[in-house]
Amino acid sequence: MQNNTQNIVLDHAKIEAILAKFGIQKENYAFSTQKNQGFSQNATLHKVHTPVNGDYLASVRYATQEEYNNSIKIAKNAFKNWRTQPSPKRGEIVRQFGEKLRAYKADLGYLVSLEMGKIYQEGLGEVQEMIDICDFAVGLSRQLYGNTIHSERPQHRMFEQYHPLGIVGIISAFNFPVAVWAWNATLAWVCGNVCIWKPSEKTPLVALACQHIFNEVAQENGLEDGISCLILGDRNVGEWLAKDENVALVSATGSTRMGREVGKIVAERFGKSILELGGNNAVIITENADVEMAIRSTIFGAVGTCGQRCTTTRRLIVHEKHYDYVKNRLVNAYQKLTIGSPLEEGNLVSPLIDNLAVNNFTQALQNVQAQGGKLIVGGEHLGGNYVSPAIVEAENHCEMVQNETFAPILYLLKYKGDVQNAIDLQNDVKQGLSSAIFSLNIRETELFLSAQGSDCGIANANIGTSGAEIGGAFGGEKETGGGRESGSDAWRAYMRRQTNTINYSDKLPLAQGIKFDVD
């Protein structure tokens, strides 16, 4: 592997210029709602460092409970008017937001790479994903359809319609620090909701930048304060959102542990939740696969974003016919990976988010080897937050293979016999987000996509586990949470369903032919 991690120097003049474009002060910066209401000056400063080389970027203040409550009050007031606006008019605001994102794409993509650590091309891709969901939401704003239903009673009309929920709380993770917020916020906005966003404490600056962009649109259109609110803070803010009966829906992206806590708290108050949690995604290479295509896809799926995607390929299940060839090709390809600053063109592997992630990576490799796994390439800590992606030969039942490690570790598994054996291995984990099969045999691919096949929310044939498009609903089953975000009919989760019946006769017949006459 080519190690380019030494002596990385950042252009701080450029960084400060980009922060200034988004109105971000380097010191004492705080934010809550569209009118830039600052948080308490007595709050503790939290310093933000880049995972690229550890340099200090800026400081932010976390909200107090009182300031959170004030934001809720402002959001509730904004909802009263926002819900009355025609959906296409709400869509027009989202359209303008998308145009602003186009104008800011290069700078926002740079900031995503700088603060999160993914390579610049992926940072640009994340902003493009935001732009794409804006386009989707604009079209959706004219397609919030209900249903007309034939009544069994004469001269009655029955129909279903959808209304906005109110306040939507969004808890996002560091690995996609802005795109997942946009998936939720844009759909919630066109549906007539207002949003309160709790970003990851590891990536507050990109959240501030997005709020600044929305604020420009809000100010240009004279929108009331509170349609978009940003609350910086640690897990306390997430708990406030989960417990708050004013928050109709909590959409949380993160670990299974976090989702289990949030889901339980929200359910106890009969609130709604969307949970997009852990993944333990597998690619199957059958004896009938285009092996070269499968290998290329697996490499990106396993090492992209340094293994910190929820859709990262973590298990590779290979038919014994191709196992040795695939193993050797992967080892050779891994040895050619370029590791270094995500802001330098040509580097394919970027840093992990922080020291804790590095420790989890090294500990997982120690554990899996103690459980019988064999490390065949990579696994080194290169200094700072940089590691060399690892491949481990293991068995699917191994404890470490059964659990997600948010780092670039690919477990190589061998299967024999027909494809059902591989599918059974793939499904034999607690998570159920993304999955893929590589085969040129239509019977194998169709079986994989059938009810007998993959039990994941995403199942692909001849493409990998990563790279979901915004047009499809995103989410998974089992310990992945079961929620759906982004495209398709995911918008329904952000609305409440109502059945209506209108009697335009001069009689009052009851359903099911019930007679209940009173003189």
How far, in whole angstroms, is CA 221 from its chain's centroid?
A: 29
CB 50 within 8 A of CB 114: yes
Phi and psi (nearest 5°) for 507?
Answer: -120, 170
Task: Write out the catalytic residue numbers.
Answer: 276, 310
Contacts of 384 (CB under 8 A, 6+ apart): 5, 51, 53, 54, 351
CB atoms within 10 A of CB 502: 10
Q: Is 375:356 a contact under the CB 8 Å cutoff?
A: no
**Side-chain half-sphere exposure of 282, counting CA atoms within 13 A:** 32
**Residue 514 DSSP class:** -
Q: How far apart are CA 284 and CA 286, in angstroms?
A: 6
Give the chain's radius of gyration (CA, Å). Answer: 25
Report d(CA 443, CA 439) in Å as an integer: 9
Q: Strand, helix or coil at 143? A: coil
CA nearest neighbour of 238 among 169, 290, 189, 180: 169
Residue 301's CB is within 10 A of a number of other CB atoms, namely 25
The DSSP-derived string for 381-444 is: EEETTEE--EEEE--TTSHHHHS--SSSEEEEEEE-SSHHHHHHHHHSSSEESEEEEE-S-HHH
